[in-house]
Amino acid sequence: MTHRRESDLRIGTSGWNYPSGKGTWNGVFYPPTRRRPKGFDELSFYAEHFNTVEVNNTFYGQPRPEVTRAWAARTPSAFEFSVKLYQKFTHPRMFKERLAARLPEHGGAEPVLLDALTRPNAADIDAFRRGIDPLASSGRLGALLAQFPASFKDDEPSRDYLAALLRAFDGYPVAVELRHKSWSDAIADTLGLLDTFRAAWVQIDEPKFRFSIRQNYLPNVKGFYYMRLHGRNADKWWRHDKSEDRYDYLYSADELQEFSDTAAATTQLVKKTYLYTNNHFSAKSVANAAMIKQQLGEPLDGEYPPEFVEQFPQLEGAVKVGPGSLLPVAPSRT
């Protein structure tokens, strides 16, 4: 039997902080805000259960070194952070819309100004590098995630831009998520581009549509492997009231087995495997990450609240249930 080092396999969720909305983790995985013990810290609690997390908030704003340094201080020394690139690097249209909403009116010059401000530059690259340096310099950085939208299609300008972005972050392990089928239609060219920069092609599970990328879940580089599970809520993927609704999906044990088997196989082929569950609605990603660990025979560390096990009975008997309840006791009416 081939044994792997503990650090070879990293399983976690995309994000750890979901404080609001119908899909909040409060009262499911974390205590409700008003009933938290003094000093309770979500990240520290999360890190008792998983050895990695994919950071989402860096997509909405550049990382700051004082913040990433604090992340490292609040987690065990072997814990790793994979960090999503700032949206300016991957979602220019979204960045432009957010920027336009904040800028005052500039008359006819506004489109020119917006275009100039939307284009990433060397200062943006340097700011991101500085922001993640506390993680990189301490060995706590997993990978950088360049997540592109489904509208990012394979053509010459897109390939040139992707090559330039990978060149700018040379020296970091970069995982590239591509969603449009044009990239898998030209699989040889796509692999050639990614392999040139030793970038991992992110393997994703999501609802499949006519234009969706097709993948075989095989690793393309020997350095690391990166997989993301987004859920399969096809009905709400494009049409939903809240963005969190598209991630309202719980994988069954049978559905997860394919990914557990893939993760087990990749540990024999690459130096490190990262698997993140992004179906975060109501901590379903936590449940599915724990189920994957169970299928792989990984230790299920940490204590889980009784409410969590009540909501996800699939894990009853597999995880350790902590004492007490996350919810307030109803007042007596006698």
Give the pLDDT of residue 5.
47
| pLDDT, tens digit only, all 334 positions of the chain | 344 444 499 999 999 999 999 999 999 999 998 889 999 999 999 999 999 999 999 999 999 999 999 999 999 999 999 999 999 999 877 666 676 666 666 544 466 666 666 778 899 999 999 999 999 999 999 999 999 999 999 999 999 999 999 999 999 999 999 999 999 999 999 999 999 999 999 999 999 999 999 999 999 999 999 999 999 999 999 999 999 999 999 999 999 999 999 999 999 999 999 999 999 999 999 999 999 999 999 999 999 999 999 999 999 999 999 876 554 544 444 3
Give the pLDDT of residue 293.
98
In 3D space, the residue among 63, 301, 333 whose CA is nearest the CA of residue 172 turns out to be 63
Give the pLDDT of residue 326.
54
| 314's tokens | 């699939």
Supply the pTM of this predicted model.
Answer: 0.91
Give the pLDDT of residue 119.
79
Distances (CA, A) of 25 to 21, 91, 219, 280: 9, 27, 32, 8
Question: What distance, in Å, lies between the first and last C-alpha atoms of the chain?
Answer: 62
